Amino acid sequence: MTPAGLPLSRTTSTLLHLQRPAAQRFLTLPLLRITTSLSAGTTLHTPRTPHIITSTAKLSSTTTTTSKMASDDSYMAFLNKANEDPSLGYPRDRPDPATQKVGSNTFKTRDEGVPLPSPIAKLLEKGDKFYVSDADEPFEGVALKFGEEMLPDEEKFASLINHPSPADADIEILDPVDWDRNGQYLDLIDAVTEASEGRDVKVYRVAKDSVRVEYWVVSVSVDGKLLVGVRALAVES
């Protein structure tokens, strides 16, 4: 309608619309831009949720991998422990006899270049002869230069085995029958007797400390040049 109340044609209405000031025609544009900006902002926040989930998944995967690695390490440690020599942790006194020195914690069993008598060597070659105590230790051959017909006394024996203090050594001489009352070591006693061709056999009990002792089953060779026999460590706690 015109100010005069006359109806407007479609063409006239369109012309009036185009003649409106620019500010009126684009009044709603800032609102549209704000709406668009808010919508875009909302869209920018949307990917954060899966990003957090992905991070959580990675953390979970890392934790699982770490746990698995720790579990594998523990299992391998268990296997290594199970495969250890069961005698580990027990006292061991088996260095090279030729390198044993006076004053060491290990007594001398062999003089360099002195062979074991055949009966003793054959009995020990399989490595299955042990003295039974708190720590089952193997018997070893004894072949020491001696030069006398009779078995030595305690102090002389201590000197032969390189005891650091022969005069004060805690040594006891036993009869084999009293030492082996259950007959566990008859084959060893017989081998020593055979190596000495029937000479007297004695057992020397040598204390090392409050719980460790050594048993030496020995005799003298026929020519009197050697002290021969076997020795084993015992733990008597």
Contact 169, 93 (CB under 8 A): no
> What's the pLDDT score for residue 215?
98
CATH dotted code for 97-235: 3.40.1460.10
For residue 25, list its beta bridge partners. none
The pLDDT-based confidence of 84 (bands split at 50, 70, 90) is low
Task: Provide the pLDDT confidence category of residue 64 given band limits of 50, 70 and 90.
Answer: low
Among 54-58, 114-118, 135-139, which stretch is predicted with the lowest mean pLDDT?
A: 54-58
Are 136 and 236 in contact by the 8 Å Cβ rule? The answer is no
User: Per-residue pLDDT for 138 more than 60?
Assistant: yes
User: pLDDT for 198-212, tens place per residue?
Assistant: 999 999 999 999 999
Rounded mean pLDDT, 146-165: 95
Q: Are 208 and 105 in contact (CB under 8 A)?
A: yes
Cα separation values, 210 from 89, 156, 171, Å: 17, 23, 13
pLDDT digits (tens, 9 = 90+) for 7-51: 544 444 444 444 455 444 444 444 434 333 444 444 444 444 444
Angstrom distance (rounded) from CA 15 to CA 13: 5
Give residue 32's pLDDT: 38
**How distant is the alpha carbon of residue 193 from its chain centre?**
42
| pLDDT score of 187 more than 70 | yes
pLDDT of 74: 72
**pLDDT over 90 (residue 105):** no
Measured CA to CA, the distance from residue 167 to residue 105 in angstroms comes to: 17
User: Mean pLDDT over residues 101-106, rounded?
Assistant: 48
What pLDDT shows up at residue 104?
A: 39
Reported as a pLDDT band with limits 50, 70 and 90, residue 106 is confident
Question: In the prediction, which pLDDT does 79 show?
Answer: 66
